């Protein structure tokens, strides 16, 4: 059985990433706009760095890209609420908040690609799921 281990410096970065993400969402929940908006940057940057560092393992890359898209969607949604344009209509029933579906769906597509296409074609590759 293969074993996947995360270098300590990467694990520390992932743990710090969680702290930033929580502060971003606390800022959103409590409507502390400066905290929520400022925390977007370290949260998103670290998620991009983590995805880049895991680019050699498709399982990790696809999941980490999905997380990056999730954070992007979540951040856009938060900003749309903070700036009070979330309920404005783009077209018919579609509001600006619904535009967060674009990065959410991009994350889903990363995972669909991995599970439906890549993984079945590479059954012997190490996976970390």
- For residue 11, the model assigns a pLDDT of 87
**How many Cβ atoms from other residues are within 10 Å of residue 111's Cβ?**
15
Decide: 78 and 29 in contact? Cβ < 8 Å: no
> What global pTM score does this model have?
0.91
- Mean pLDDT for back-to-back runs of 10 residues, the chain (129 residues): 72 92 96 97 97 93 97 98 97 96 98 96 77
Radius of gyration of the chain (CA): 17
- For residue 66, the model assigns a pLDDT of 98
Query: Which helix (H) or strand (E) covers residue 92, if one does?
Result: none
């Amino acid at each position: 059985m293969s074993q996947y281990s995360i270098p300590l410096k990467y694990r520390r970065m992932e743990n710090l990433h969680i702290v930033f993400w929580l502060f971003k969402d606390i800022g959103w929940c409590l409507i502390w706009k400066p905290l929520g908006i400022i925390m977007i940057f370290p949260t998103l940057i670290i998620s991009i760095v983590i995805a880049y560092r895991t680019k050699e393992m498709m399982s990790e890359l696809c999941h980490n890209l999905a997380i990056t898209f999730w954070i992007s969607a979540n951040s856009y949604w938060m900003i749309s609420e903070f700036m009070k344009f979330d309920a404005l209509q783009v077209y018919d029933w579609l509001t600006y908040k619904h535009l967060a579906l674009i990065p959410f769906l991009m994350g889903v597509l990363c995972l669909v690609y991995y599970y439906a296409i890549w993984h079945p074609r590479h059954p012997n590759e190490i996976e970390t799921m």
